[in-house]
Amino acid sequence: MSEHHPAGDLRSSFHLQDCLQCSQCTERCPSARHGGVRPDEVVSAVLEDREPQGIWDCLLCHRCLEVCPSDIDIVMLMTHLRHRSALDGVAPDRFLRTGSILVKEGRGFPSNPRVQKQREELGLSPLVDSDRAMRELGKIISRTRFAYER
């Protein structure tokens, strides 16, 4: 685990000591089936003060939570671990690009003619830039300490 973020609080906050190591979470995980994250190994890593692997491969689909006999919220654990990782400056480029677009445009995807055409076909209003929305987003970004410039 990162020296800035010890594991002790994660164990109790997420009740990881209740994990039975039954691997039902990993058996149900679509990411694990395709070589991605193994939720049971993430829990073990945190319990053993090791750096968890594959946290950015989690789909956040909640299938692990649906089958966990101990009701451990692995999705929230993954989200928390990602947050800590990002604060340490470690995140995949695809997430950083999305964050950059969010900061610049107020949404997680670029507005382009293809997106506008799809919205029109679905009967949705066109995307427009809104100064108010950008000001509100600025408040959220400053309070969450998200500051990525590309």
107 lies in some domain: yes
Residues 36 and 80 placed together within one structural domain of the fold: yes
Q: Say what the pLDDT of residue 147 is.
A: 53
Q: Say what the pLDDT of residue 148 is.
A: 47
**Structural domain containing residue 105:** 93-144
Residues 97 and 115 placed together within one structural domain of the fold: yes
Mean pLDDT of 106-130: 80
CA 42 to the chain's CA centroid: 14
Q: Say what the pLDDT of residue 74 is.
A: 95
48 lies in some domain: yes
Question: How many domains is the chain partitioned into structurally?
Answer: 2
- What is the chain's percent helix, strand, coil content, to nearest 5? 55, 0, 45
Residues 100 and 133 placed together within one structural domain of the fold: yes
Residues 121 and 65 placed together within one structural domain of the fold: no
Residues 113 and 83 placed together within one structural domain of the fold: no
Q: Which of 92, 96, 91, 85 is nearest to 4 (CA)?
A: 85
Q: Say what the pLDDT of residue 80 is.
A: 94
Take residue 104 and report the two structure tokens written for it: 């610049």
Instruction: Kindly report, residue by residue over 16-64, the tens digit of the pLDDT.
Output: 999 999 999 999 999 999 999 999 999 999 999 999 999 999 999 999 9
Residues 62 and 13 placed together within one structural domain of the fold: yes
| pLDDT exceeds 80 at position 6 | no
150 lies in some domain: no
Residues 12 and 79 placed together within one structural domain of the fold: yes
| pLDDT exceeds 60 at position 15 | yes
Q: Which of 72, 82, 81 is nearest to 23 (CA)?
A: 72
Residue whose entry in the numeric block shows the structure tokens 């654990």: 77
Q: Say what the pLDDT of residue 67 is.
A: 97
| pLDDT exceeds 60 at position 99 | yes
Residues 45 and 61 placed together within one structural domain of the fold: yes
Tell me how far apart the alpha carbons of residues 124 and 147 are, in angstroms, rounded to a whole number. 31
Residues 77 and 99 placed together within one structural domain of the fold: no
Residues 80 and 102 placed together within one structural domain of the fold: no
Residues 134 and 105 placed together within one structural domain of the fold: yes
Q: Say what the pLDDT of residue 125 is.
A: 82
138 lies in some domain: yes
2 lies in some domain: no
Prediction pTM value: 0.69
Residues 13 and 66 placed together within one structural domain of the fold: yes
Take residue 37 and report the two structure tokens written for it: 């994250």
Instruction: Kindly report, residue by residue over 59-88, the tens digit of the pLDDT.
Output: 999 999 999 999 999 999 999 999 889 888
